[in-house]
Copies of this chain bind each other. A is one copy, B any other.
Amino acid sequence: MVLTRTLRIEPDTTTAAMYVVGTELNVNLDRRAPPTCKYFSVQCSHTVHYRISPPAPPQEDSTLLHPLTPKSTLIVTMDAASEHAFDSKLSVQYYRDPREALGKAVLHLTAVEISLDVDADRDGVVETNNPNKGSWKWGPRGHGAILLVNCDSESTFRKSPDTEKPEINQDLKDMSRMVVRTKGPAQLPEGYLLTLHVSQTDAETIRVFRDGKQNSNSIEFSNIFSYFTRDYPLVLSADRLCQVIPYKGGVVETDFFVEGLRFPDKDFDGLVTINLSLLEPTSKLFPETPIFTDKVMFRVAPWIMTPNTLDPVEVFVCSTSDNYPFLKAMTHLAKESGCKLKVCHQFMNRNDRWMQDEMELGYIDSPHQSFPVVLDSPRGGPLTDFSYEELLGPDFGFVTRSALCKEVSSLDSFGNLEVSPPVTVHGKSYPLGRIIIGVAFPTTIHGRNMTQVVQDFLWAQKVQEPIALFSDWLAVGHVDEFMSFVPAPDRKGFRLLLASPDAAYRLFQNLQHDGHGEARLFEGVPGKKTMSVDDILSDPQLRYTNNYVQGCIDWNRDVLKKELGLEEGDIIDLPILFKMDEKNLAVAYYPDMVNMIVLGKNLGVPKPFGPQVNGQCALEAEMSALMGRLGLTCFFIDDFTSYHMKLGEVHCGSNTRRQPFSFRWWNLEL
């Protein structure tokens, strides 16, 4: 669609106007024509083109006079930028009759080429005047530029997310390049201005900086917000909705850098529009008129979680006063798996060992830049500063959400926040998987839930549509206590592992049937009373409890099958038993093997201390056999005293940063 602008000309008057290449000027000829005018003729420079609407062929070939009607309109265009101001001309001669001229209206034109450009085709390069740059569409055939929340910290001393600093950061790649391209005469005609502007609503979500080293120019900015740097003055922000930008003649590109300040959330869909307008002077008494506006639309990149099927990069664990063997085993596992290991030392963790619960490691991605971003949990234990103090840094972002008015519960820990591998559900594709959280039954009045602000944040990211499971039956209440995902060479590329009391009973019954009823659990655990297989099978209360627990897990199984499009063959039941605490909430009876860390083909599994049969733990043997069929190796890690007894296991006590998806989120079809 061609942009048109209404312009007026007047007999015996010269009108000066600017023209932006690609637009049309509509000049109504009747409005100002002399009262007795019946005809008109048009002359113009070779740089100017016109047509008459409605078409009015000349009356007589010799005179080139056109009849004037109330709707007679000249539609004027030019092909290229002017070399000098007002070097192009058009004139209209009015006539009463072919022999009596009434007056002449003259139009002096200056043409400029102007475009506000972004990487609307998402190839990492800012192209020129993409026709779709003003809107945003998902998918591989979609369009629209992408913006990152600049939530890393380039400085490591007195650090804070770059968005909170008054000046631009030092890493321009964290921002989206935006280019103002102009071509025209050495100067704009007097009083004309180029200005960038945003709405108040959008301005609260971005900042725009100009590359001040480029095209330095005599125009001085009275921009009090750019107090830290002259090289990259702040141009637009919540305090500055519009800003004049420099114009220089010839073919010029001026670079700007756009920074996102907020992730998508309940009240922010992530879309931001930035406008470039050419302003025409009226007089000192009136505001300048925007006679041409170009606009670009960005979408702020969502925060993305990484499932167990992605390659691990770095493992995080705490060092505490009592976990040396665990730490040693994790060090070995990380080394075997080719991962870095980062230890949070005791002076920082103050014996808060639940590395999984304090944070979730994800990333943000754009065609020009990608970096990990930690979502800090509202949990607020002694570990609370770890992600800010130790992770936030250059190309490592930080985001958090604080609960409103309400106390947080155990369900706000991020052992209760997981993500599935990519799935397709009844034809609908989730190439980045789906987020999984645990809550109370919606039919329960007094249940614990994940706090609303975190749920709102997760849902607003859109690209990994969340699923809510029922985890409030557990004392700690985290989904990682009964489920995990491991990579698989076949089927959907993964298996869902579920804790299964039924599978445990079946295994113990088989042991008893095979004459191993006397085999004992917990052998070798200091201070722990051992139990025989017979003891377990003959405990009616334990059976009752585990019937209930299996029902709870089956409920989640049905939801997961439906929401992830899984079949029974995609699920593996792991032999795990639960018992009830004094509040009738479930805790693992022996180390909960499903609460594992997955590092490629290596699994760090809580050592279950199951019944010893022929010198081997029957639970380990079963686990190794089940995982071995998928080409996975179990590393059984003794976490009994330092984690299991404190109601967590290996997964609760660790965290993993993973490679991002090769699939880019903007290629989703939403």
Contact = CB atoms under 8 A, between A and B. Distances in A.
A472 B290 CA distance: 14
Given A8-B502, A502-B32, A554-B8, A441 B562 contact: no
Interface stretch (A161-169, A278-286, A654-662): A278-286
A349 interface: no
A452 interface: yes
A288 B440 CA distance: 11
A509 interface: yes
Nearest to A242: B443
Contacts of A267: 266-267
A669 interface: no
Contacts of A502: 8, 28, 31-32
Interface of A: 1, 3-8, 26, 28, 30-36, 53, 71, 73, 195, 197, 199-201, 241-242, 266-267, 275, 277, 279, 282-283, 285-291, 426, 440-445, 447, 452, 472-473, 500, 502-503, 505-506, 509-510, 512-514, 547-548, 550-552, 554-555, 557-558, 561-562, 568-569, 573, 580, 584
A441 B33 CA distance: 30
Contacts of A285: 580, 584
A443 B551 contact: no
Contact of A445 (B31, B241, B558, B568): B241
B286 A71 contact: no
Copies in the complex: 2
Contact of A443 (B32, B277, B569): B277
B36 A513 contact: yes
Which of A282, A287, A452: most chain B CB closer than 10 A? Answer: A287
B195 A35 contact: no
Contacts of A33: 506
Contacts of A472: 287
Given A1-B562, A8-B502, A286 B443 contact: no
B452 A201 contact: yes
Contacts of A426: 1
Contacts of A8: 502, 547, 550-551, 554
Contacts of A6: 554-555, 557-558
A97 to B, nearest CB: 16
A-B CB proximity, top 8 nearest: A6-B554, A35-B513, A31-B502, A285-B584, A35-B510, A267-B267, A287-B444, A35-B509
Nearest to A449: B200
B242 A289 contact: no
A570 to B, nearest CB: 11
Contact of A548 (B286, B441, B500): B286
Contacts of A568: 26, 28, 53, 71, 73
A30 B360 CA distance: 37
Contacts of A53: 568
Contacts of A551: 8, 282, 289
Given A35-B514, A71-B568, 18 more contacts: A1-B426, A4-B561, A5-B558, A6-B554, A31-B500, A31-B573, A33-B506, A35-B506, A36-B513, A201-B452, A241-B445, A267-B267, A286-B548, A287-B440, A287-B441, A287-B444, A287-B473, A289-B552
